Structure 1
Amino acid sequence: MQRYFVKQRAIDNRFMIDGDDRHHIIKVMRMEIGDKIICVEPEGQAAVCEIAKITDEQVVADVVQWKDEKSELPILISIASGLPKGDKLEWIIQKGTELGACEFIPFAARRSVVKWDDKKAGKKVERWQKIAKEAAEQSHRGIVPEIISPMDFKALIERSKNFHYKLVAFEEESRSGETSIFSATLQKMKPGESLLIVFGPEGGLADEEVHVLQENDFALCGLGPRILRTETAPLYALAAISYHFELMRR
């Protein structure tokens, strides 16, 4: 059943769907009155709905049954990625959304080849947000992760002060055989707490960036004995987090 994240809560058990989602329902899915969809409120509550009316401006869907879903990780994971080349960030956002991340923070690292253009920022972030929304719908998430507009390294440090736990995936730690920091951090975390994990771009983080992160309470951690690409490492971490919190404890 197709899922849609609606902009407003249901009023009298009725959803009003407009914009791109209305177009998708009518033109792409070719749905008609009587067809069923799943609508998700901004707070994450989902309901099976039946299309009751289709107009030139909106689709009206009546709630048939509210669903009791638990598809979110018990902790809040934010992924900070040093701006990578090509479409790698789109891949990280799409797959990271499927794996449960709640926020993505692109940042300009010293070794980032990509130079951020503020003039194109709005369209880029809009595209990334759309990718996250579609991935959240496909994977039956309760929320759509937020895509933060790319920032510089100093702004990332400032933003990091809002998190309970902070880690840096650092390849030198993997090479030296460190295996405990990542696991130990997950062991300490309680439901509702937040974790920010920083990943470098191609070429990794510069030594001075690592030192600044450590000075601001980030712990360095390895992600196993193999060196992972910048687009692979966040997915490895999210998969490990899911295993720890959602599979190992059942």
Structure 2
Amino acid sequence: MRRFFYAVDSQGNGKDNLNNKAIERPKLSSLAIGSSFELTESIVHHWCRVLRANIGEQGILFDGFGGEYQVQLNAISKKQATVTLLAHHDDDRTAPIISKIGLVMSRGDRMDYAIQKATELGVTAIQLLSSHHGEVNLKPTQVDKKLTHWQQVAIAACEQCGLNRPPLILSPLPISIWLQQLCSETINDAINKALPVSPTIQSLSADPYYHILNTQANLRLQLSVPASGQPTIPESLSAVLSQRQPYIELLIGPEGGLSDEERQQADAAGFAAWQIGSRVLRTETAPVVALATLHALS
């Protein structure tokens, strides 16, 4: 069955992903089995117009708050479609490791690829970063559009792979500012701070599941280029991976690597160097290899 993300805004109402109009729609968990409700415009467009679904066809909806919901199309008009809720399935398919990647932005399809594949491997959040050697420095007028696009890339990957809790794509920061925040911010300050995400998932980011992102990670790892005398795997990694659902932060720099100053800041913030193999990985490949390695080691 086809899977679709049912977006819910900060007031508990669904939002139309195509034109961002607020429409009153409840969380799926508030609906009783057998009740009927309208789909968002984006789902109507994709399911009913592009895929040409017919009345009676069944699909899966998820809103990111846990589990997924089996529905059946019971009415289709030119602009709207209504479904009946048939069942709730409590499978989130979340990874056993909570992970946040600080990822220096790259150009074009490479960034889409990194976000898509990291999502398939169960990343919890991606903090977008700019750096001294990075290719991308967004203008203020570009941020909202790019953030919404990259969040949609992650949501589309969830629809494909079966993950029911989308990763949060966090608004870009200069890497120096992000590392300073990690060093100076107290736990209480962080917990009380809203996560900077796209309006599409604003209410979802406040869900308790994501609160761990505002706490200190169990381990911070900086993927580094191969260097002689550098340990392949930090000694603390095995112990952290033996914990129940550990929280690990990863820092992945640009193609040109981090500057000397940025590396020093990363060291001060507690990012241990992690060298995966003897080859230099591309910035879009590194998240995939790192997450896959963590899951294999755990």
Q: TM-score range by the shorter chain?
A: 0.7 to 0.9
Residue equivalent to 2:32 = 12
Residue equivalent to 1:211 = 264
Which secondary structure state, in structure 2, belongs to the residue aligned with residue 26 of structure 1?
Answer: helix
RMSD: 2.1
Residue equivalent to 2:237 = 185
Which secondary structure state, in structure 1, belongs to the residue aligned with residue 171 of structure 2?
Answer: coil
TM-score, normalised relative to structure 1: 0.88
Residue equivalent to 2:133 = 111
Moved more, 76-85 or 30-39: 76-85
Q: Cα distance, 1:135 vs. partner?
A: 0.7
Q: Cα distance, 1:177 vs. partner?
A: 5.2
Residue equivalent to 1:170 = 224
Residue equivalent to 2:200 = none
Q: For each residue in 1:19-62, what CA deviation from the matched residue of structure 2 results, as whole angstroms up to 9, or x when unmatched?
A: 21121111111112210101113312112221223345543322
With over 3 angstroms needed to count, the CA separation of the structure-2 counterparts of 1:186 and 1:147, relative to structure 1, is: farther
* One of 64, 67, 71 as aligned partner of 2:93: 71
Checking the alignment, whether the CA contact within 8 Å between 1:81 and 1:107 is kept in structure 2 is: yes
Letter in 1 for 2:110: K
Structure-2 separation of matches of 1:114 and 1:240? 27
1:196 is the counterpart of 2:249: yes
Residue equivalent to 2:49 = 27
Structure-1 separation of matches of 2:245 and 2:39? 31
Structure-2 separation of matches of 1:176 and 1:236? 22
Gaps of at least 5 residues in structure 2 are: 8-26, 186-214
Structure-1 separation of matches of 2:231 and 2:67? 40
* One of 47, 52, 69 as aligned partner of 2:74: 52
Checking the alignment, whether the CA contact within 8 Å between 2:92 and 2:165 is kept in structure 1 is: no
Residue equivalent to 1:224 = 277
Q: What is the total number of aligned residue pairs between the two structures? A: 243
Checking the alignment, whether the CA contact within 8 Å between 2:111 and 2:284 is kept in structure 1 is: yes
Residue equivalent to 1:83 = 105
* One of 104, 113, 119 as aligned partner of 1:97: 119
With over 3 angstroms needed to count, the CA separation of the structure-2 counterparts of 1:59 and 1:184, relative to structure 1, is: farther
Q: Cα distance, 1:163 vs. partner?
A: 3.1
1:240 is the counterpart of 2:293: yes
Gaps of at least 5 residues in structure 1 are: 246-250
With over 3 angstroms needed to count, the CA separation of the structure-2 counterparts of 1:101 and 1:229, relative to structure 1, is: same
Q: Cα distance, 1:89 vs. partner?
A: 1.2
Q: For each residue in 1:92-136, what CA deviation from the matched residue of structure 2 results, as whole angstroms up to 9, or x when unmatched?
A: 011111111121111111111322211111111111111111111
Checking the alignment, whether the CA contact within 8 Å between 1:80 and 1:105 is kept in structure 2 is: yes
Structure-2 separation of matches of 1:207 and 1:213? 10
With over 3 angstroms needed to count, the CA separation of the structure-2 counterparts of 1:125 and 1:70, relative to structure 1, is: closer
Which secondary structure state, in structure 2, belongs to the residue aligned with residue 110 of structure 1?
Answer: coil
1:155 is the counterpart of 2:209: no
Q: Cα distance, 1:212 vs. partner?
A: 1.0
1:2 is the counterpart of 2:2: yes
Structure-1 separation of matches of 2:108 and 2:61? 33
Moved more, 150-159 or 196-205: 150-159
Q: Cα distance, 1:152 vs. partner?
A: 1.0
Checking the alignment, whether the CA contact within 8 Å between 1:77 and 1:103 is kept in structure 2 is: yes
Moved more, 200-209 or 83-92: 83-92
